Amino acid sequence: LALPATAILPRLARAASPWAPVTPPRLESLLSVADFEAAARAVLPPAHFAFLATGVDDDRTVGWNHEAYSQLEINVRRFADVSRTDLRVTMFGTHWPTPVYLSAVGSQRAFHPEAELATARAAASRSALMMLSSAGSTGPEDVMAARGAPVWQQIYPTDDLEVTRAIIERAERAGASAIALTVDNHHPRFNETLARAIPNDPRICTDCHVNNSHDFVRKAPLYQGIDVSHVQELTQPSAITWHFLDRVRGFVKGKLLVKGIM
* CA–centroid distance for 119 within its chain: 12
Q: Is 25 exposed, middle or buried (0-12, 13-18, 19+ CB in 10 A)?
A: middle
In the chain, helix, strand, coil percent, each to 5?
45, 10, 45
- Residues present in the chain in total: 262
Give the model's pLDDT for residue 170. 94
Q: Which DSSP category does 95 fall into?
A: E
Cis peptide before 18 (omega within 30 of 0): yes
Give dist(CA 66, CA 34) in Å, integer.
Answer: 11
Residue 21: the pLDDT is 63
Q: Which of 189, 191, 196 is nearest to 13 (CA)?
A: 196
Which pLDDT belongs to residue 175? 93
Cα–Cα distance for residue pair 70/5, rounded to 1 Å: 12
Per-block average pLDDT, block size 10, for the chain (262 residues)? Answer: 44 48 79 84 85 82 89 88 89 90 89 92 94 91 94 90 92 94 75 79 68 69 86 77 92 93 78
User: For the chain, what is the total number of helices (H) and then of strands (E)?
Assistant: 10, 6
Q: How far is CA 147 from CA 116, 127, 131, 144, in A?
A: 10, 9, 11, 5
pLDDT, residue 128, reads: 93
At residue 259, the 3 state secondary structure works out as: strand
Q: How many CB atoms lie within 10 A of CB 96?
A: 16
- Whole-Å CA distances, 39 to 31, 53, 127, 202: 12, 12, 26, 21
Check: CB of residue 2 under 8 Å from CB of residue 64.
Answer: no
